Amino acid sequence: MADDKKVTPVSKLGEFGLIEHLTKGFTTVNPGTIKAVGDDAAIIDNKAKLTVVSTDLLIEGIHFDLMYMPLKHLGYKSVIVNLSDIYAMNAEPKQITVSIAISSRFTVEALEELYEGIKLACHNYKVDLIGGDTTSSLTGLVISITAIGEAMPEDIVYRNGAKVGDLICVSGDLGSAYLGLKILEREKRIYLEHPDVQPELEDAPYLIGRQLKPEARKDVIQYFKEQGLKPTAMMDLSDGLSSDIMHICKQSGTGCEINESQVPISEEAYNMAIKFNLDPITCALNGGEDYELLFTITPEDETKVANDENFSIIGQITEADKGYMLVTKGGNRHKLTAQGWNHFGG
């Protein structure tokens, strides 16, 4: 490239900035395009029911390490990650497409394992594989999945509906998947240095399971239906609570206040964080890959959430000028910082 041409490194924009930057000049022309770039999934009006579409691209060495991720688990997780985006719209996934690119080191049997995991996820979540592509790659494995779901128009929940005073809720617990990853990375290092040492995975099956075989919260969406509860905003926790709540606030034009003491952390995660000399709340706020649902509700709906052990109410939506705050156990107020998964390292 010529010297006089402007060059901006991608890291300067970061992942979210880059996609925003690249797509800002696009406008939509079809009346059926209800929601384009900017949410967990896109919405297309196909008469009575809306079609919900979400897509993900997973690259070996960036999103997964085959040294500790068995191919069957990888196949399962790749699907789950996409279904989670559909549920995060309060919609039901119905179909997926799966494309893969593989280098010559992959055998048919290895790919069968991958597809075993994909098949199991399809079965567990009643989703149909409806297409895809296989091709070769010069280096590692690439997996591209598009998930398609449906919902009645009135049921869809976007990221931009949070209002001041709404309660911020999460399903499950946070940080476990991240600590599972830390264990797997530690064992990989040990293995590379001492191939004869047996890996020590038995002490944390829950954490490792959360990393290797996450589930999407289909049950939460069903619970909402049963309870007649519609969140005001929702997304799935893939990058980490700090980063993800900011998406909701930014799109809703609000601030937020998260109470450290109410952020759900499993006992296993808490103890493992201490063992790794990490702050448990930092793991929960920035760990990512939990695939839990982060949502906001009106105060009137509080009892529907407070009485169910699946959920934690962790804070509330505030006015925009209050910023994004964390209230510590000691009562101090800190600015939340997004240290979520940034695949550009920016």
**Interaction residues for a second copy, span 272-311 (CB under 8 A):** none
Give every CB contact of residue 277 below 8 A, 6+ residues apart in sequence. Answer: none
Q: Which of 71, 79, 102, 249 binds a second copy (CB under 8 A)?
A: 102
When the beta carbons of 132 and 323 are compared against a second copy, the nearer one is: 132
DSSP helix/strand/coil, 28: coil
- Nearest-approach distance from CB 327 to a second copy, in angstroms: 33
- Nearest-approach distance from CB 262 to a second copy, in angstroms: 31
- Nearest-approach distance from CB 34 to a second copy, in angstroms: 9
Taking the C-alpha atoms of residue 162 and residue 234, their distance in angstroms, rounded to an integer, is: 9
Q: Which of 61, 153, 199, 299 binds a second copy (CB under 8 A)?
A: 61
Q: Which of 112, 200, 219, 302 binds a second copy (CB under 8 A)?
A: 112
| Cα 305 from chain centre | 21
When the beta carbons of 284 and 338 are compared against a second copy, the nearer one is: 338
Q: Give the bridge partners for 60, in sequence order.
A: 64
* Interaction between residue 19 and a second copy (CB under 8 A): yes
Taking the C-alpha atoms of residue 91 and residue 217, their distance in angstroms, rounded to an integer, is: 11
DSSP at 308:
-
- Nearest-approach distance from CB 117 to a second copy, in angstroms: 12
When the beta carbons of 123 and 335 are compared against a second copy, the nearer one is: 123
Q: Give the bridge partners for 135, in sequence order.
A: 101
Taking the C-alpha atoms of residue 314 and residue 291, their distance in angstroms, rounded to an integer, is: 17
Subset of 118-177 contacting a second copy (CB under 8 A): 119, 122, 126, 128-140, 142, 144, 146, 148, 150
Strands of the 142-151 sheet, one edge to the other: 33-35, 42-46, 49-59, 142-151, 92-102, 128-136
Region binding a second copy by CB under 8 A among candidate stretches 90-98, 172-180, 261-269, 324-332: 90-98
Number of residues that bind a second copy (CB under 8 A): 83
Amino acid identity for residue 141 in this structure? L
Q: Which of 2, 3, 4, 9 binds a second copy (CB under 8 A)?
A: 9
Q: Which of 111, 190, 201, 313 binds a second copy (CB under 8 A)?
A: 111
* Interaction between residue 62 and a second copy (CB under 8 A): yes
* Interaction between residue 21 and a second copy (CB under 8 A): yes
When the beta carbons of 131 and 205 are compared against a second copy, the nearer one is: 131
The answer to whether 321 and 255 are in contact (CB under 8 A) is yes
Three-state DSSP string of 227-275: HCCCCCEEEECCCCHHHHHHHHHHHHCEEEEEEHHHCCCCHHHHHHHHH
* Interaction between residue 29 and a second copy (CB under 8 A): yes
When the beta carbons of 125 and 324 are compared against a second copy, the nearer one is: 125
Q: Which of 69, 115, 262, 337 binds a second copy (CB under 8 A)?
A: 115
When the beta carbons of 79 and 265 are compared against a second copy, the nearer one is: 79
* Interaction between residue 35 and a second copy (CB under 8 A): yes
- Nearest-approach distance from CB 67 to a second copy, in angstroms: 14
Give every CB contact of residue 101 below 8 A, 6+ residues apart in sequence. Answer: 134, 135, 136, 137, 141, 142
When the beta carbons of 41 and 269 are compared against a second copy, the nearer one is: 41
Q: What is the dihedral of CA 326, 332, 334, 340, to 10 degrees?
A: -50
The answer to whether 103 and 139 are in contact (CB under 8 A) is yes
* Interaction between residue 190 and a second copy (CB under 8 A): no
Region binding a second copy by CB under 8 A among candidate stretches 1-9, 163-171, 188-196, 251-259: 1-9
Write out the H or E segment, with its range, that includes residue 333: strand 333-335
- Nearest-approach distance from CB 331 to a second copy, in angstroms: 39
